[in-house]
Amino acid sequence: RTMGVSDTNAESVEAEGTNGNDEESEDEEVEVSAPGLVTVGELKGHDSRVFKAAFSPIDDTLLATCSEDATCRLWDVSQCKQLFCLKGHDEAIYSVKFSPDGTHMLTAGSDGKIIIWDLSCLTPGAPPSLAMTAAVQTISVEGDAYAAQFMDSKTVVSAIDDRIVLWDIETAQEKASKTITAASDYVFGGLSRNPNATPWVFCLQHHDESGRLAIGVSDATIRLLDTNLNEQVIMRGHARDVTCLTFREDGGELLSGSGDHMAGVWDLSTLQVRQVLKGHDAAVHDVCYWPGSENQEVCSVSMDRSLKMWDVESGECLSTVGPDITAKLCLAPNNTLAGVAVAGGENKTHTGNDFRVSLLSKDSDSLQRLQASAPSERKYLGS
């Protein structure tokens, strides 16, 4: 059960608008067709698939990435330079998130660990062994920690197998939990591999102002919960596991991606999907609103090794990057860059042994703009 790769052998009918072909040729040629979208930088260091990426909410030059190589890395994207490599997990790290004030970070992974990192304990130039002093709290659970996020300064919410759990950060004790029950006939992995038809929670997003918690479930549903984990709504529309979710900044809209090869745009005032984005040939693994588009353009990445730009109102695909040499699994939008960080990769036993993080923008001068905006001193780090 690998969170980083959506199931493609599940016992379900083929989703509308897909070609049902998840095979990838070893000799596939790179095709790039996205006028105006350029690679302005690359970050190299990870040794295996990169599952998630996130920019600091207080510093657009600071990027965090987490990987199957069991490391979380912090990068100065203005210089395309690695700042820290954090080693606290024993297995793949599935999730990385900053706290709203940018002073802390958390990681969650397949080893059942959720680690809280205090960035003020990270000192530039210090020996790598000292980086572990930044791990100020570790929550250990049985199962895979697929996702986690700060609810507030005292609470973390996490997705662990088929459970949603609230944790007290100071004590690492469970405050509340909810076990998710199946709400569709779709069984991720098929009954032969998932005989109990367990509905794993693969992703979650908490919206601070509205208090809504959205979770993406492997039974092809999206659930909306309140801050006490009471399930309020079940939204149906996808045909396979829901792999990613992103709230619009005001909380009125939600983007989703799925193993059915499609992305959805959900109106949360009507609780209906208002746009279906069809065009990928494999699972959609991340979606975001394109920075600077006033929420009118959506970006998606997929196991089909491509990135696509979409018009939210019409559902039209505006441009495509790829297919390139490897799967694309995660996105991180950046306002100063006016673009995104994109990363991914595939198993080393497969093709596309490439785990770089690419910085993409419509503006070829955006990296210079990031360099100009870089803080002279990162006061949130140690000294």
- Lowest mean pLDDT segment, chosen from 119-133, 169-183, 220-234, 262-276: 119-133
* Mean pLDDT in residue range 305-330: 92
| pLDDT score for 125 | 79
Dist CA 316 CA 327 (whole Å): 22
| pLDDT score for 108 | 98
Instruction: Look at residues 255, 164, 151 and name the one whose alpha carbon lies nearest to residue 207.
Output: 151
Query: Has residue 348 got a pLDDT over 70?
Result: no
* Mean pLDDT in residue range 8-31: 33
Q: In this structure, what token pair is assigned to residue 252?
A: 């009125």
Query: Has residue 29 got a pLDDT over 90?
Result: no
Length of the chain: 383
* Mean pLDDT in residue range 146-154: 95
- Lowest mean pLDDT segment, chosen from 266-280, 326-340, 348-362: 348-362
- Phi, psi (rounded to 5 degrees) for 191: -65, -25
- With cut-offs at 50, 70 and 90, classify the pLDDT of residue 10: very low
- Lowest mean pLDDT segment, chosen from 75-84, 93-102, 124-133, 146-155: 124-133
| pLDDT score for 186 | 96
CA torsion sign for 310, 370, 254, 285 is positive
Query: Has residue 347 got a pLDDT over 90?
Result: no
Query: Has residue 98 got a pLDDT over 80?
Result: yes
* Mean pLDDT in residue range 293-306: 94
Sheet containing 62-67, strands listed edge to edge, beginning at the edge strand earlier in sequence: 50-55, 62-67, 72-76, 81-86
Whole-model pTM over 0.85? yes
Query: Has residue 24 got a pLDDT over 80?
Result: no
| pLDDT score for 124 | 82
Dist CA 89 CA 206 (whole Å): 24
| pLDDT score for 23 | 36
Query: Has residue 70 got a pLDDT over 50?
Result: yes
| pLDDT score for 2 | 47
Query: Has residue 50 got a pLDDT over 70?
Result: yes
Query: Which is more confident, 95 or 14?
Result: 95
Query: Has residue 19 got a pLDDT over 60?
Result: no
**Which H or E element spans position 11?**
none
- With cut-offs at 50, 70 and 90, classify the pLDDT of residue 353: low
| pLDDT score for 21 | 34
Query: Has residue 110 got a pLDDT over 60?
Result: yes
CA distances from residue 116 to 52, 67, 323 in whole angstroms, order as listed: 16, 17, 36
Q: What is the mean pLDDT of the chain?
A: 88
Dist CA 82 CA 78 (whole Å): 11
The 3-state DSSP composition of the chain as helix, strand, coil percent (nearest 5) reads 5, 45, 50
